[in-house]
Amino acid sequence: MNVLLAVRMYVSKMIQDSGPGMKVLIMDRETIGMVSVAYAQSEILQKEVYLFEQIDKCGHGPVMKHLKCVVFLRPSQENIQLLASELKSPRYGVYYIYFSGIISKAFIKVLAESDEQEVVREIQEFYADYFAIGPHLFSLNLEKPIHGMEWVPSCLQRSVQGVVSVLLSLKKNPIIRYQSFSPLARRLAESIRDTILKESSLFHFQRGEGVPLLLILDRRCDPITPLLNQWTYQAMVHELLTIKNNRVSLIGVPGAPKDMSEVLLSAEQDEFYANNMYLNFGDIGQTIKSLMEEFQAKAKSHQKVESIADMKAFVENYPHFKKMSGTVTKHVTLVGELSRLVTQHNLLEVSEAEQELACQEEHSQSLTKIRRFLGTDQIRDLDAARLVFLYAIRYNKHPNKDIVGLIELLRRRGTPVKLIDTVDDMVRYANSGEIAGSSIFTTKDVTKITEKIFKGLKGVENVFTQHSPVLKDIIDNMVKGRLSEEAFPFVGSESTSGRNQDVVIFMVGGVTHEESFAVHQFCRANAGIRIALGGTHIHNSQSFMSEVDAAVKYSHAGNAKYPHNPAPSGTGCHSKLT
């Protein structure tokens, strides 16, 4: 159940299958990202790949018949046309072609007719049609896939392709369940089931005793988690600096080295990050100090080059020393910037107020504290607005609520109009999940789960990490066999009372690093349970706000750009994804 390992094995195999010799790797806009999150460029270079090209930017490059060409593309119509053009006038000796998903016979025919010089040696489907951010976390990098509480058709199609690819890469033929309050989850679940039935020859995997489960959730079941400040290393970096395909931009960061405009944060290639990505911010400072001390000790030993033996040792250890130097610089820069932002924006105080809103039932106290925050210029407009979002979602049905008064305070402090308008959007977004499932929420099981949206863990010592995502309770109930069929129905006639040991969870509307951490903790505490978590996107608070804005405001029926017709096979959201 390791999605990162699955993608790495596919990439390794496609390069190895082309045999020894110098190679060029041609990809598209999306597969470049899919490969880059799984493999470092230096690793691929070691496999005799010396040239990288993007299919839509190849143009009429030089002819190099001595090179083998490995092609890895999404099976979209645009890519097929570009590849057909390449094959009609081949620049390389032979071509090994791999598609990240299921390709139609019609597309294969187009390629066969274009291969007049018979340079194609192989065409295969390698199911790596997703971004494997970590061993148990994947994303489709779809921004704003829901408009007017309806799927954007191309994004629905892309989500089907992505989840089917995950299942095939993990070799799972699952039963499928979804959250009944969500038409979005149901439509995706049914579309995936239709694809599995249509491509039944691909899903010939034996289920064994533990039946695999695909669980489709809707972000609206927990709109709180993406709005909270985070205090574990990975989640903090994403919240305050933004991680995109495991990369963080340091442009504009005070004190960042000039040659370090972007850094890679990959547990696969950075041992320090792998060991500390889930640590609380307070503990990171100590581990950074230990890393610095270790580096300084090695640096001193390298200063003593007095003999031939010293020179030999220096040369042998230099690559490791150079790598360690880069690691130290990277993490000291990141932690320094996080610390600066926490202090500058008073995020400790803000986060404490957020946690109280999310986890405690103290309306009057919370309202007073928010009013005090809104009356000061010591916090950002973004944080002021987030406190109002949380209050509005939490207390929009409280008899003494004062959402209007808080909005007025936002106006007085000069908060951007877009943030103020988002208050109403957040309430409508959160309520749409509740209203859609109002008949379901009367059941005992679901009531217990939904209450957890604003409930912390008993006995939590850290005031900044009281909040527990709803996902954690859904997983716990699932493993214990307590998810009711009324709240989480099965697709089709399949159902089971057996234990689900291998589970793929996909959240329509995106997931968060806090939820990824919850899955990591759960699997460590429950041996034998394997979970892969994915979503349309991996959110921080700002990307989530943009998603809510699109989901609530756009009128799907009245938007001619997104008609009610299925997207052509292989298309991505908004036709172009970066």
**Tens digit of pLDDT for each residue in 349-368?**
999 999 999 888 889 999 99
pLDDT for the residue 94:
96
Residue 151 pLDDT greater than 90, yes or no: yes
Torsion angle defined by CA atoms of residues 154, 160, 161 and 165, in that order, rounded to the nearest 10 degrees: 160
pLDDT for the residue 298:
66
Q: Which CATH number is 133-222+469-492+499-552's, of 3.40.50.1370, 3.30.1360.20, 2.40.40.20, 3.40.50.1910?
A: 3.40.50.1910
How many CA atoms within 13 Å lie on the side-chain side of 326? 15
Helix axes 513-525, 470-479, angle to 10 degrees: 30
Q: What percent of the chain lies above the pLDDT cut of 70? A: 85
Q: What is the mean pLDDT of the chain?
A: 85
Q: Taking residues 147-152, report their average pLDDT.
A: 94
The pLDDT-based confidence of 57 (bands split at 50, 70, 90) is confident
CB 425 within 8 A of CB 324: no
Q: Do domains 3-127 and 233-345 have the same CATH topology?
A: no
Residue 437 pLDDT greater than 80, yes or no: no
Q: Which amino acid is at 180?
A: S
Q: Which of 507, 554, 461, 502 is nearest to 147 (CA)?
A: 554
pLDDT for the residue 307:
55
Lowest mean pLDDT among 96-100, 349-353, 431-435, 570-574: 570-574
pLDDT for the residue 319:
56
318 vs 48, more confident: 48
**407-425 tens-digit pLDDT:** 999 999 999 999 999 999 9
Alpha-carbon span 352 to 227, nearest angstrom:
13
The pLDDT-based confidence of 208 (bands split at 50, 70, 90) is low
Q: Taking residues 13-24, report their average pLDDT.
A: 93
Domain residue ranges in the chain: 3-127, 133-222+469-492+499-552, 233-345, 346-433
Helical ranges in 89-152 per DSSP H: 105-114
pLDDT for the residue 430:
92
Alpha-carbon span 105 to 201, nearest angstrom:
15
328 vs 3, more confident: 3
Q: Which long-range contacts (CB under 8 A, 24 or more apart) does 265-269 make?
A: 265/234, 265/237, 266/37, 266/40, 267/134, 267/135, 268/4, 268/8, 268/38, 269/40
pLDDT for the residue 58:
77
Would you call 502 helix, strand, or coil by DSSP?
Answer: strand
The pLDDT-based confidence of 323 (bands split at 50, 70, 90) is low
For the whole model, what pTM was predicted? 0.87
The pLDDT-based confidence of 568 (bands split at 50, 70, 90) is very low
CB 334 within 8 A of CB 237: yes
Q: Taking residues 58-79, report their average pLDDT.
A: 90
The pLDDT-based confidence of 448 (bands split at 50, 70, 90) is very low
Q: What percent of the chain lies above the pLDDT cut of 90? A: 67
Helix axes 233-240, 308-344, angle to 10 degrees: 60
Q: Which of 430, 525, 463 is nearest to 225 (CA)?
A: 430
The pLDDT-based confidence of 259 (bands split at 50, 70, 90) is confident
The CATH number of the structural domain formed by 233-345 is 3.90.830.10
Surface-to-core class of residue 58, CB atoms within 10 Å of its CB (0-12 exposed, 13-18 middle, 19+ buried): middle
Q: Taking residues 490-510, report their average pLDDT.
A: 84
Alpha-carbon span 573 to 12, nearest angstrom:
28
Alpha-carbon span 367 to 374, nearest angstrom:
11
pLDDT for the residue 567:
35
300 vs 202, more confident: 202
Tokens of 516: 């990824």
CB 298 within 8 A of CB 321: yes
CB 357 within 8 A of CB 394: yes
**376-397 tens-digit pLDDT:** 888 999 999 999 999 999 999 9
97 vs 480, more confident: 97
pLDDT for the residue 325:
75
Q: Taking residues 443-460, report their average pLDDT.
A: 38
Would you call 201 helix, strand, or coil by DSSP?
Answer: coil
The CATH number of the structural domain formed by 3-127 is 3.40.50.2060
* Residue 356 CA: distances (Å) to CA of 158, 268, 377, 387, 393: 38, 36, 21, 10, 14
Tokens of 316: 């042998």
* Residue 502 CA: distances (Å) to CA of 40, 135, 468, 478, 508: 29, 14, 23, 12, 20
Q: Which of 174, 177, 175 is nearest to 485 (CA)?
A: 177
pLDDT for the residue 454:
41
Report DSSP state, residue 529: -
Residue 318 pLDDT greater than 80, yes or no: no
Q: Taking residues 554-558, report their average pLDDT.
A: 45
Residue 438 pLDDT greater than 60, yes or no: no
Pairing of strands 131-134, 137-139: antiparallel
**23-53 tens-digit pLDDT:** 999 999 999 999 999 998 888 988 999 899 9
Q: Taking residues 256-279, report their average pLDDT.
A: 90
Residue 462 pLDDT greater than 70, yes or no: no
Residue 555 pLDDT greater than 70, yes or no: no
The pLDDT-based confidence of 304 (bands split at 50, 70, 90) is low
